Amino acid sequence: MKKNKVDPLLSFYYDCLPKNIKTKKEKELLVEILQTLTEKIYLKPNYELVKELFFEYLEKVLGYFEPPLRISLWDYFQKNLKNEEKIIAGKILYFYELNYLYHGDLSKHQKEIEQFNKLDKLLVLTIILKLIYQTTTLGLKFVKGDIKDYLSLIPKITERNFKKDKKKWVLQFLKRIIDLNYDINLDFNENNPEEYIKEKYGKSLGELKKEYLFDEENNKPGKIFERISWLLYKKTILSEKQLKSYKKHKSYPNIFEYKDIELCNQYHSFVEKNSTPIYELSEFIFRKRIAGFTILNLKELYEILKEDKKEYDDLKLTKIKRNLFYKAIFMVLSSSFMRLAILKDKRFFKKYPPQIKKLFHEFNREIIIAKKFYENTIQFLDKNEFYEKKLFFVYENLKIILALLDTDLLRMINYFWFRNIGYSILFLVNKVLEKETFNSQKSNNLDYFLFGTRIKTKKGKIIKGYVQKISTIG
Amino acid sequence: MLKIFELELAKSRRRKRFFNKAFKIFKEKIEPSITYFEKK
């Protein structure tokens, strides 16, 4: 209350309050409204309102873009405006350009400003609101040219097979995120893989390695090591025709393409001579089927996808798996790209499944709320309310939208948007990889999961099973 | 981020709720003074 004595206008508002208002809070609230109505709306000339509410915002958003965009700015801002509004919006943008050219010194244009100040205040505020909304959509165009790219991409999102040019686009997009330094690195300190393995298999990683890979203490080969040795040995002594059934074995997709194997008729000598490639292959199978691969960042994913399928990458991905990766990336990207389209087209949402809608909502909460505010304000303007109330409500909502879509926040939203994309892509891609590993809900036996196959009985019946003990050959 | 916004939003809603009351004061006591200042 001491401050009121210092500011005569503020004490004037307090003096105007009826005597029956007792609480301090209500007094403060009423004074706040009176102050806004008087100083921020009524006494503020139109030009000052535009400068305060719009120019600063536009300048900051434009700061994100390359200069050539300024040329087509007017075309962009004309959208969503009625004819009468277009003329005033043109004037506002003209003032903005003058401010830019003369560094804020508009002394030679005072007459134009005076004319502008005579315009209806509600109309001016409404146009400011619409221009801010358009500016926000500009703010979401984080990199020039992207809009064109992804609008052509969206209608094709449901395609089953991704054409080469779409894949190329995805790779370029991943590269852009990496180059912008927005790549994400999954931190496993919080999600300890050792604990995860123990929980999933009931055994530690070390114990599993001993059992399935190699027990170095006792110099005893593990189950996978033995199976790989046996399969490779078989390959060296079997004919192509006999090999056919093994080639179908999904657990070891690329085993028969493995080079640098030294031929030997005697099994134990074969294993001894080829222990390094056998161990490498066994370790790969162990990681792929038990421990699981995890792609930790987009750079890693980019390198894997870049290789295409001619040369085997580190994960020895099949074409189907690659397409699953692309599908995951497309799903995340399409849900993210929708954020701009949603600001313009209501029907846009109807095309997409609930999962994508959910992702979209998570990514773009602030933008969706701002959109709702914008639409509500436009609707409110058509209501049968008195002029001053409209003036005040539009001003209030304008401030809310500005706070919600603050340029620094917008920049941050863009940053989080990239990070979210990165995280979601890696999450889905790693889920694809995790499906390759043992799942206790689907199978209750790890050995059956690893070595299970169709076996033909002596009576000719085909059963599913696996041979628990590998017969010693040689 | 949203929490700050929600706080602002709550304040704005309160202001809108009290608008009619404030507007009455504005019309009766403040607007005549504004007109006086503007005419001057």
Q: How many CB atoms lie within 10 A of CB A108?
A: 9
Give a yes or no: residue A138 inside a domain. no
Distance, CA of A86 to CA of A74 (rounded, Å): 10
**In chain B, % of residues over pLDDT 70:** 78
Give a yes or no: residue A298 inside a domain. no
Tokens 């404030």: give the residue: B22
pLDDT in tens, A361-418: 776 777 778 888 888 999 999 999 999 999 999 999 998 888 877 777 767 766 777 7
Distance, CA of A416 to CA of A421 (rounded, Å): 8
Structure tokens at A462: 């085909």
Q: Residue B5 is nearest to which of A26, A37, A403, comparing CB atoms? A: A403
Distance, CA of A359 to CA of B13 (rounded, Å): 29
Label residue A271 exposed, middle or buried (CB < 10 Å: 0-12, 13-18, 19+).
buried
Asked if the Cβ–Cβ distance from B30 to A34 is below 8 Å, we say: yes
Give a yes or no: residue A266 inside a domain. yes
Select from A23, A30, A405 the residue whose CB has the most chain B CBs within 10 Å, as the one to mutate to test that interface.
Answer: A30
DSSP A132-170: HHHHHHHHT--STTHHHHHHHHGGGTT-SSPPHHHHHHH
Q: Is B23 on the interface with A (CB under 8 A)?
A: yes
Give a yes or no: residue A252 inside a domain. yes
Chain B: closest CA distance from residue A367 (Å): 11
- Report field, pTM of the whole predicted structure over 0.80: no
Count structural domains, chain A: 1
Chain B: closest CA distance from residue A431 (Å): 30
Pairing outcome for strands A214-215 and A462-465: unpaired
Select from A14, A372, A396 the residue whose CB has the most chain B CBs within 10 Å, as the one to mutate to test that interface.
Answer: A396
Give a yes or no: residue A235 inside a domain. yes
How is residue A68 annotated by DSSP?
Answer: G
Give a yes or no: residue A311 inside a domain. no
Asked if the Cβ–Cβ distance from A33 to B19 is below 8 Å, we say: yes
Q: How confident is the model at residue A357 (pLDDT cuts 50, 70, 90)?
A: low
Residues A214-232 have a mean pLDDT of 88
Asked if the Cβ–Cβ distance from B26 to A389 is below 8 Å, we say: no
Among candidate residues A55, A51, A62, A50, the one with its CA nearest the CA of residue A410: A62
The pLDDT score that the predictor gives to residue A66 is 47
Give a yes or no: residue A232 inside a domain. yes
Asked whether this complex has an ipTM greater than 0.90, the answer is no
pLDDT in tens, A301-326: 898 888 765 444 556 666 677 777 88
pLDDT in tens, A96-108: 888 888 888 888 8
Average pLDDT of every residue of chain A: 77
Domain assignment of residue A235, given as a range: 193-293
Which positions ≥6 away from A290 have C-beta within 8 Å? Answer: A201, A208, A212, A437, A438, A446, A450
